Every structure is written in C-alpha cells, then in structure tokens.
Structure 1
Amino acid sequence: MTRTSLSRRRLLTGATAAAAGLALTGCVGRQPGDYAQVSGQVPARFARRRRVVLWSAFTSHNAEVLQTVIDGFNAAQQDIFCEIQLFPGYPALDSKLAASFALAQVPDLVTLSDVNWNRYFLAEALEPLNGYFDASFGPAAFHPRFLAEGTVRGQVYWLPWARSTPLFYYNKEIFAGAGLPDRGPKTFTELREWGRQLKGFTYRGSPVKMRGYTGKDDWYFQGSTWAFGGAYSDGMTPRLDSEQTVAALEFDRAFIHDDRMAYLSGDINADFAAGVTATICNSTGALSSLLKAATFEIGAAFLPEQDAPGVPTGGSGLAVMRNATKARKEATWEVVKYLITRGAPEWSLNTGYLPVTATSLASPEIRKRNAATPAYQVAQDQLSRARQPDVMRRYVNETVAEMVLALEAVYASGARPAEVLRETAQKLDPAIRRVLPKYRRLVS
C-alpha cells in the first residue's frame, strides 16, 4: 500500500469521524418528536397509511430477502406502510445517519452494526425499548446472549436481527488432496503446520495458499487477540500493545511473510470460490453465498483456538430512533414485532445469518436445513464460545478504522506488529479520552 493511499484513508476517516461527532452532538437535549421524518416515496395504494422508514445496510441478495419480509408486513395489515431505504453497507448508512441529525430529519428504524449502535447510544439518539414490551411480545422472544449485547444498565436499546460469528471455511478437495484431516485446525499452531504441509500443492493447475486474509475488516483479528490471550481493551483501558495482542498479529505476519502460505486478498470470497486459497475466515452470514458460488464441497468449522477460544459476535441489529413522534415510534414498534415474530425465520433461512429468536430456533425449516447442510448447525453451535467485541472497539469510533490500517501495514508490507500496535494505541488515546466521560456516565 502506498503512502498516498494510507494518507487518503486517514484523511477520510478523520473527516467522517469529525462530521459524525458534530452531527451527533446536536441531537442530545432535543425533545422527542423534534425531528422530521426523512423524505421518500409512498405508493399510491398505501397513501393513507402511517409511514415508517427503515434504513438498511443490506445489499444484493440480503436486501431482496429483507424486502420480501417487509412486503409481507405491508400485506398483513392496513394501517402502516414500511418503506425500506437502502445504503451500500454499514459505513455509508452510518455516515448518512450521522449527517441526518444535523438536518433534524431522521428515519424511524435503522439496521445499526454491532459497533456503530454504541456511538448512537452515547449520543442519546436511541429509544429505550423496555416500555414497549408486553405480555404478547417480550424479551423472551430473543436469544438471551444476543439480547444482552443490546442492553445497557438493564435497558434494551438494540434488538438482535442479522447476527453472526466468523467461521473457519475450508476446501475439502484441497484438504483431501494434500493429506490434511477433514476438519478445521484446533489451534493456530496447527493451522500454520498445515500450511507448511500444503506448500507446493496445486489445485486445478494452480498453486494454492493456505489462507487468504482480508484487509477490509478487523473483526476477525479481534477474535484472534482473545485466542492468544490478548484484547483490544480491558474495559476502556487499551491492551493493543500488550504482549499477547502483539503475538496474535505476529502470527499473521509470519504466516504471510515468513511461510508465504497466506496473503492479503482483495476479495476472500472470490478467491476461496476459485480455489486460490484453501481456507478463509468469514461471517456465518456469508455461508449461503459461498455454498452457491463454490464448485467444490465446503467444510465449516469452529475458529482455531490458541490459549483460549476467540469468537467475536458481529452483524447488526434494529434500533428505533428516539427523536421521532410518539405515533411514529408506536408504528415502528409494530414493524419490529412483525420482523421478530414472523419475519425472523424467513430471514435466517434465506440469508444464513444466525437464528436470533425463539421462533427461528424452533423453526422446522431451519432444523431441516441444518440437518441437510451441517455447516449451518456448526455456526449455531459455535455461538456458545462467542462474546461481543471489546469495549474500546464498540465505543471509540476511530478504533476500527485505525486497526484496519494497522492490519494492512502488517499484511501487505510486513511491518512489525509491536511497532504498529504501539503507534495505533497512541493515535487512539485522544479519542479514548474524548469518549471516556460520557461512557462513564451512561455505561460503566
């Protein structure tokens, strides 16, 4: 990666964070109902209904599935019309949502990522939801582990929806041809040993690497830090430059640059489907698309351990915007109830995201699918090992962007992990100090 591209990335990251901070500062202290609804198009046949606007970060197939679920809601009753407005991924949605507060014009329901929702909570922009639950629809509708991740001091602000963990995917044909076991490696040490055994192996006429790494997301590395006994932070105290966290990144550096059996991929899904790499770590939410794209049998396994399991939860959930009228929020809650009680099984079945509700877990269709394709069941079973990302990653907005730059420096250029992580920790210190007072007041 060139100095120019790194500088541009830093410039864009800083500008986005600054704009978001300014926009969100303005929403604190405003009264509920102060903000107008964002504009949009309402079909003539729904013109007399109350309108609810859902902002979604899903694209392609997942966007189509969500639209099908919402079409079911619009057809199931005659009082509310839910309109989906799409954005190409979480960063684009996050940037637009932050800017919308400056205009005092917000959507009603938003699919916020497992990281971004925390920042809107600190800005007091999310509606507390406990008061909306009743005897017909309450906390028992959700998987308790996922519900707890959206709960702060006993109050629910973020509801599970498209939740996931990373899985270890492997090409069974490559493993068999190289004499490797038909399973995932138990430890990162074993993964590296298998990589050395794979050296020189060709698949369909081309040389194969053991693992393709992505430089677009630090989510997978968050799990690796735990596997090696490290972390991003302990509470809000940074641990990026701890010996254990450095060891996790040093493993990746050595695997890529010393062994030359791993590499930084531009598209891990495409490389895996093409047989360029024998393994990748990717979201459970990618399972359906990988199964469709691959022309070989895919194996799915738990993530490797080292000193401990290292499985982060991820994905997104549903948040109701606080600064809307009471009538809008009540109508929004009807959409939420439909999504959770009736739409969740269809969503999980057709996307590959983990079942997050009681109805999904009990769904005969999902159980049948898991029996036919055990990889889906592996994803559900691994959930018992999972935990939400560290506090610093969730509440300090700059953490993810800075960590992506750090990983790229190591993966692409072989930079020394100890130096890179020490520099990253220093750069994040002002952001931590900025967030800490509000974090202590609202969370800790």
Structure 2
Amino acid sequence: MKTLKMRSTAIAITALMVLLTSACGKAEPTTSGSTADTKSSASPAAAETKKSAEPVKVIWWHSMSGELGKAVDKLVADFNTSQKEVQVEAVFQGTYDESLNKMKASMDSKSGPSLIQVYEIGSRFMIDSKAITPVQKYVDADKFDLSQLEDNILNYYKFDGKLYSMPFNTSNPILYYNKDMFKAAGLDPEKPPTTFEDVAKASQALSKDGKAGASFAIYGWFMEQFFAGQGAEYLNNGNGRTTAASESMVGSEAGVKTLTWWKQMVDSKTATNLGRKTDDTKKAFLAGQVAMTLDSTASLRGIVSGADGKFQVGTSTLPKPADAKDGGVVVGGASLYILNNKSEAEQKGAWEFIKFLTNPQTQAWWHVNTGYFPITKKAYDEQLVKDNLAKYPQFQTAIDQLHNTKANKATQGAVMGVFPEARQLVETAIEEALTGKKAPKEALDAAAKSITEKIGAYNKTVK
C-alpha cells in the first residue's frame, strides 16, 4: 500500500467482462519450454538439463514507489542472492488502479506478470476474474503453517476458509494527537480519547487561538473502519462473505451515527474540514494547526519524525461510539496474487518468493523500514523490531488495536467487485453532509442506492 492515500478510481464493468473472457480462455506458459524444445535437434534429456540449469524468472508487478520501492528492491535482491533456482524481477506499475488495469490488458498475451500486488478492495474482483491460482494450493502442497501468521490479517484474505492471496503490506488507521496541545488545554496527554463522545469533548477544549481540535480527511476507508469499530457490517449477506453482496448498508445506523458526530464537530468549528487528501490533514497536524487527526499506521514513523523538535505525538485507537458492539479494525494495504496463465514453474517460483517474504527476519526488516505490520507473529521476537518499538513506542497502539480486534464478519471486511467506485460515492456523501448540502442520512442513503445499483450490474457480469 502506498502510505495511505492511493485514491481508487472506477474499475469499469466492461473491463471486467474483457478480463473474465480472456482469463478463462487462454493459459499459455511463458517460460522457455515446449515449443522451442520440440523443434530443437537436441535430445529430450539434454533439453531438460538445459532448462533445469536456468533459474525460473518471476515477474512481480507492484505499486510501491519512492522509499517503499527501494525497500521492495532490497527484498528482491536478498531473495535472488539467497538461492539460484528462482530469480524475481520487480517492476513498478504505478498506482494500484493503474497496475490492475495493465494486468487486465495483458491477460490475453504473454506480457503480464507472474505475481501481482493488489490492494485489499480489489480482492473480490481478483477472485471473480478466474485469473489467479489461490495460494491455498501451495499452502496445502507444502503443508505451510498458516498459524505462524497474524490471524486478523489472514482473516481479510480468506474466503470460505481458503486463502486466495498472501498478505504483504498491511496497515490500519489510528488516532494521532498533539500531547503538548492536550497539556496546554488542561487535558491529560496520557489519557487520549477513545470514543466519539470523548473526541468531541476533547476537540471542544482544544479549539482555541485559531486552532482546531481535530481534522479528519474525507476518506471512504475511514467510514469502512468506523463501521467495523461498531461491529456493523458494511454490506448485506455477511459483508459479502456469506454470499455475494447485493446491497450497501452505508445508510444504516452505524453510518448515520458516525457522520452525524463528524458533522456536529465541523458545524461547531471544533473540527475543520480540509477535504479529501490525507496529506493535507497530516500537514496541518504537523504544523500544530489541529490537535487530532486520523492516519494510517504506515504513516507513524513519518509523523513522529515530522513532529520531532516541535511537539510530542501521542497515538490512540480508532474512536467509536461509547455503546458500540464488539468490533475492531479491518486491515488495509495489499496482498500478492499468483497469476494462472503462467507455467507451473513460474507459479511455484512465485510461491517460493512469497514464502521468503513471510519469514520472521524478512518481516522484521520490512516492518522497521516501512511501518507496515509484520504479518508473521515471530517477527516481534526479532531484536530489530524490539529496538524499533523502543524508539517508536506509539506503534504499540497499532499492535494492540490489531490484536484486540474481535473476529467477525464486520472486522473481516466488506468485499464487492465495485469497491473503488463505492468508496468514491461514500466520500461524496461525507462531503455533501459536512458542507451542509445534505443531511447525513439523506447523503448516505443516496450513496447506498447508487452502490447497490453498481453491485447489481457487476453481479450480472459475473454470473
């Protein structure tokens, strides 16, 4: 996942139909093999020896840019030097949306990847595409122990008990707050707010001298998380997990309660609306213009470093109503899918790389250098992680929040084939409510109606 904001653009239904057609039709191997070997004058045994002497090449498409891209390149280099059988080539393909669209275009040719990183909201689409080999196949064949991985991370990527992709970069949102501003306002900087009611009360005390108590970016991901925090499902049919979702629930009580709370703070000027970009709220927070904000756990190091010498950063769990049911957070980020239009050798090579990425030492390094969660439990035993946690104790909030999340359909996360479009529609609804164009219930009901219609159209193409 990019740090947080890689905004989702629409994935067209017609594009899905093209992908389904191509993915279900032709599956041609791309490594050197049958055609060239049968035309060769060399004996079959000699040809096999030549093939086995060459490492299998695995092309991995990813969306990690900047420092994250450098971290990806380091992982690939470490894997390639650790053995001689498989060589991975990492290729940056732009944003998650751009990479996924390129994959669709490549499915009827040999130009696509062996392995691809796809954001979490692309999960339903990837499964429906029939373009992948579920990693469960290799988990079973290798008797790979999934219990070594974080349950609440695996939970998102499992469907009907089967793991279709391997989690890679994982995050969730937390509340960041300015401890110095809390102290100046007479609030205990060691007792941050954890409920909607407490946030509203603290925000009122913190709003003075032209500074706002809070600012939350208009981001659909936050609304999804607020639902999970209340133990509420975002879609019908068990969040689209029991059977395919057919209706959006964003206009339900959990959504209205959340948006009403948010709007009341903006209306009372104890929270400021800075729009859809989380970078804008982050900058305002680091400038000391707002006392509280929401951001990804993957942003923690950058925020703490950015505030160094100016103020102390505190962290708290994602707020929820005081009367909320058992819930927690839904993991964000992305996972790795093995494409099924490649040779078995390439697919197995991709799996070997995936296994390398899950080992504790690799996960410890990835976590410390990116801020994403380790997906392997034993990574926390590595000295590298212990030292990092000592330096950034705020990350304990994120770890505890993940581990304290109650496993249910709400926290497993909603899945639908039109999630990018749905997220944008919800952001429009939030914007309409915060700017006074519509009441919270009216705005969310309109979004739910549009999302439900898009789900219906999508489901017809899948059938």
Normalising by the residue count of structure 2, what TM-score does the alignment of the two structures yield?
A: 0.81
What's the C-alpha RMSD, in Å, of the aligned pairs? 2.7
- Please tell me whether the aligned partners of residues 194 and 316 of structure 2 are also in contact (alpha carbons under 8 angstroms): no
* Further displaced range: 375-384 or 95-104: 95-104
- Give the structure with the higher percent strand: 1
- Please tell me whether the aligned partners of residues 28 and 123 of structure 1 are also in contact (alpha carbons under 8 angstroms): yes
Matched residues in 1 for 2:105 and 2:459: separation? 23
* 89, 113, 126: which one aligns with 2:119: 113
- Residue 97 (str. 1) matches residue 92 (str. 2): no
Equivalent residue number for residue 40 of structure 2:
none
Matched residues in 2 for 1:231 and 1:330: separation? 36
Relative distance call for 1:388 and 1:113 in structure 2 (3 A) is farther
Which secondary structure does the structure 2 equivalent of 1:422 belong to? helix
Alignment of 1:51-200 (within 5 A): 51-101=57-107, 103=109, 105-133=111-139, 137-182=144-189, 183-200=191-208
- Residue 250 (str. 1) matches residue 260 (str. 2): yes
* 382, 385, 406: which one aligns with 1:363: 382
Matched residues in 2 for 1:394 and 1:380: separation? 30
Matched residues in 2 for 1:35 and 1:431: separation? 36
Cα distance, 1:174 vs structure 2: 1.2
- State the AA in 1 paired with 2:424: A
Cα distance, 1:113 vs structure 2: 1.2
Cα distance, 1:13 vs structure 2: 4.9
Q: Residue by residue, what CA displacement relative to the aligned partner does 1:57-113 show, whole Å, maximum 9, x if unpaired?
A: 122222211111111112222232211111343222223223333556321111111
Matched residues in 2 for 1:433 and 1:282: separation? 32
Equivalent residue number for residue 223 of structure 1:
225
Which secondary structure does the structure 1 equivalent of 2:337 belong to? strand
Which secondary structure does the structure 1 equivalent of 2:24 belong to? coil
Alignment of 1:230-245 (within 5 A): 230-235=232-237, 236=245, 237-245=247-255
- State the AA in 1 paired with 2:214: R
* Further displaced range: 163-172 or 94-103: 94-103
- Residue 264 (str. 1) matches residue 274 (str. 2): yes
- State the AA in 2 paired with 1:20: A
Cα distance, 1:398 vs structure 2: 2.6
- Please tell me whether the aligned partners of residues 234 and 391 of structure 1 are also in contact (alpha carbons under 8 angstroms): no
Cα distance, 1:162 vs structure 2: 0.9
Matched residues in 2 for 1:169 and 1:106: separation? 40
Relative distance call for 1:390 and 1:333 in structure 2 (3 A) is closer
Question: Which sections of structure 2, spanning at least 5 residues, go unmatched?
Answer: 1-7, 33-52, 238-244
Relative distance call for 1:425 and 1:103 in structure 2 (3 A) is farther
Q: Residue by residue, what CA displacement relative to the aligned partner does 1:109-128 show, whole Å, maximum 9, x if unpaired?
A: 11111111221111112212
Relative distance call for 1:360 and 1:20 in structure 2 (3 A) is farther
Alignment of 1:201-220 (within 5 A): 201=209, 207-215=210-218, 217-220=219-222
- State the AA in 2 paired with 1:288: R
Equivalent residue number for residue 29 of structure 1:
24
Report the count of equivalent residues. Answer: 413
- Please tell me whether the aligned partners of residues 36 and 106 of structure 1 are also in contact (alpha carbons under 8 angstroms): no
- Residue 290 (str. 1) matches residue 303 (str. 2): yes
Relative distance call for 1:13 and 1:165 in structure 2 (3 A) is closer
Equivalent residue number for residue 292 of structure 2:
279
Cα distance, 1:195 vs structure 2: 1.2
Which secondary structure does the structure 1 equivalent of 2:126 belong to? helix
Q: Residue by residue, what CA displacement relative to the aligned partner does 1:240-285 show, whole Å, maximum 9, x if unpaired?
A: 2223321211111121123342322442222222222211111111
- Residue 384 (str. 1) matches residue 403 (str. 2): yes
Which secondary structure does the structure 2 equivalent of 1:221 belong to? helix
Relative distance call for 1:397 and 1:372 in structure 2 (3 A) is closer
Compare CA radii of gyration and give the structure with the larger one: 2
- State the AA in 1 paired with 2:356: Y
Normalising by the residue count of structure 1, what TM-score does the alignment of the two structures yield?
A: 0.84
- State the AA in 2 paired with 1:301: S
Matched residues in 2 for 1:161 and 1:284: separation? 15
Relative distance call for 1:271 and 1:389 in structure 2 (3 A) is farther
Q: Residue by residue, what CA displacement relative to the aligned partner does 1:6-58 show, whole Å, maximum 9, x if unpaired?
A: xxxxxx955x4235323322234225436799xxxxxxxxx954321111112
Matched residues in 1 for 2:146 and 2:415: separation? 27
Relative distance call for 1:13 and 1:330 in structure 2 (3 A) is closer
* Further displaced range: 220-229 or 287-296: 220-229
Question: Which sections of structure 1, spanning at least 5 residues, go unmatched?
Answer: 1-11, 38-46, 202-206
- State the AA in 1 paired with 2:312: E
* Further displaced range: 319-328 or 361-370: 361-370
Which secondary structure does the structure 2 equivalent of 1:299 belong to? strand
Matched residues in 2 for 1:360 and 1:238: separation? 37
- Please tell me whether the aligned partners of residues 172 and 299 of structure 1 are also in contact (alpha carbons under 8 angstroms): yes
- Please tell me whether the aligned partners of residues 231 and 411 of structure 2 are also in contact (alpha carbons under 8 angstroms): no
- State the AA in 2 paired with 1:271: A
Matched residues in 2 for 1:393 and 1:288: separation? 32
Q: Residue by residue, what CA displacement relative to the aligned partner does 1:114-154 show, whole Å, maximum 9, x if unpaired?
A: 11122111111221222313557432332222223222223
- Please tell me whether the aligned partners of residues 230 and 245 of structure 1 are also in contact (alpha carbons under 8 angstroms): no
Which secondary structure does the structure 2 equivalent of 1:334 belong to? helix
Which secondary structure does the structure 2 equivalent of 1:211 belong to? strand
